[in-house]
Amino acid sequence: MKKIALLLTAFIGISALQSCTIEEYYNEENYEGYSQVFELPNETLSTLEDAYTYSATWNFTTPIFDGDNVLVYRWQGNSWTLVPVSYNLGGSDMVKYDYDFTRYDVKVYFSANFPVAELSNAEYNDFVYRQTFRVVVVPGNFQQKMNFSDYNATISALGLENAPVKILQTKK
């Protein structure tokens, strides 16, 4: 009887330690044209995270795959700059952009090493008000080693030169 109880306990223990996994596969149907580029045009980073940080969040039109990566670029008047990026305002004052993402959305942060309420009107207009970002989804199986800081080279490597740029809506 003790052997049956021991075997039953071992079986239940082994069964309980098993975990469920969900595997995503890139196949012809869902991989075709999967690399994507989105634009976040003329957006104001208006959510006050804390005294030092503004942010804005955008929902993807469809969830991205778990293994995918996201790159964010900021338009600087004549070129796209890869985020994260920092700017020196003079003296010890610094501002920076950063981002994070999930399968469902992307969030861009603007932060300063001083309270953002102290930004001058010109600084606010240059860094917070009506900013344009591009979000590039890089498939998890993308094998090419490259420097992603060049937006045009990234788009070319992903085969997105002629792809439509989709507009994302700000998350409410």
pLDDT in tens, 81-140: 999 999 999 889 999 999 999 999 999 999 999 999 999 999 999 999 999 999 999 988
| Model pLDDT, residue 26 | 43
pTM tops 0.85: no
User: How many CB atoms within 10 Å of residue 125?
Assistant: 12
38-89: per-residue pLDDT in tens?
999 888 998 999 999 999 999 998 899 988 999 999 999 899 999 999 999 9
Using CB atoms within 10 Å of the CB of residue 47, give its burial: 0 to 12 exposed, 13 to 18 middle, 19+ buried: middle
CA Rg value for the chain: 22
Both tokens of 169, joined, read 């809506």
Nearest Cα to Cα of residue 30 among 1, 53, 2, 64: 64
Both tokens of 96, joined, read 């920076």
- Under DSSP, the state recorded for 74 is E
**Identity of the amino acid at 37:** V
| Model pLDDT, residue 29 | 46
CA–CA distance from 82 to each of 15, 50, 71, 124, 171 (Å)?
Answer: 46, 24, 7, 20, 22
Residue at token pair 């020196």 = 88
| Model pLDDT, residue 61 | 87
Quick one: pLDDT band at residue 30, thresholds 50, 70, 90? very low
| Cα of 74 vs its chain's centroid, Å | 13
